[in-house]
Chains A and B, each alone.
Chain A
Amino acid sequence: IAGITQAPTSQILAAGRRMTLRCTQDMRHNAMYWYRQDLGLGLRLIHYSNTAGTTGKGEVPDGYSVSRANTDDFPLTLASAVPSQTSVYFCASSDSPSLHTGELFFGEGSRLTVL
């Protein structure tokens, strides 16, 4: 099925551990994004990539890093996890960074708990 795949879907992690959330899309979209969603708050952008080989910081980038080696993959790494990074993480993509078609496609989310 075409779309965006995230892994893992759920993970419990000890504080201080390193963790990489994987995201792969098969729609050949140029732009990809990582958001976190916390209760009572809107989706907040962590990092984004407008095209392969480039990345940018979003609203809440601290403690996270990304890479975009090719069009399809956009992994998010937590170098040393802290409890405040407990959240649901969504990867998303769009065919254009300017969203001229209006639609952002989301993965199913990765629920991360840091103890």
Chain B
Amino acid sequence: GQNIDQPTEMTATEGAIVQINCTYQTSGFNGLFWYQQHAGEAPTFLSYNVLDGLEEKGRFSSFLSRSKGYSYLLLKELQMKDSASYLCARMDSNYQLIWGAGTKLIIKP
């Protein structure tokens, strides 16, 4: 995606914690989104950060640092069903989403 960088693939163990990082171009920033996409399915919304800091939502948390152009998605107590691609997207000054290529997360027993 345009100036959105996230790792292509990560592997983690069931029950563990994993952090998926995303860096983005800071100009024209209006918010940072994380979506989950299981193979062959549509993306589904996970989180939206517009201010700096950590937003916690159950086992998933998302962090934003606007000055650094950096976000991460933290997944705790990993379950096999968390195996999916995680898409980072920033909203630009025209309120359009610019998407990263996604991070494929593989969970091993």
Interface residues of A (CB under 8 A from B): 40-45, 48, 58-59, 90, 97-99, 102-109
Contact = CB atoms under 8 A, between A and B. Distances in A.
Interface residues of B, number: 25
B95 A99 contact: yes
Contacts of A58: 96
Given A98-B30, A102-B33, 8 more contacts: A43-B87, A45-B97, A90-B42, A97-B95, A98-B95, A99-B91, A102-B45, A103-B45
B1 A108 contact: no
A108 B42 contact: yes
A52 B62 CA distance: 34
Nearest to B50: A102
Contacts of B101: 40-42
B1 A42 contact: yes
Nearest to B44: A106
Contact of B100 (A42, A98, A99): A42
Interface string B1-31: 1101000000000000000000000000011
A48 B96 contact: yes
A42 B37 CA distance: 12
B60 interface: no
A42 B91 contact: no
B18 to A, nearest CB: 20
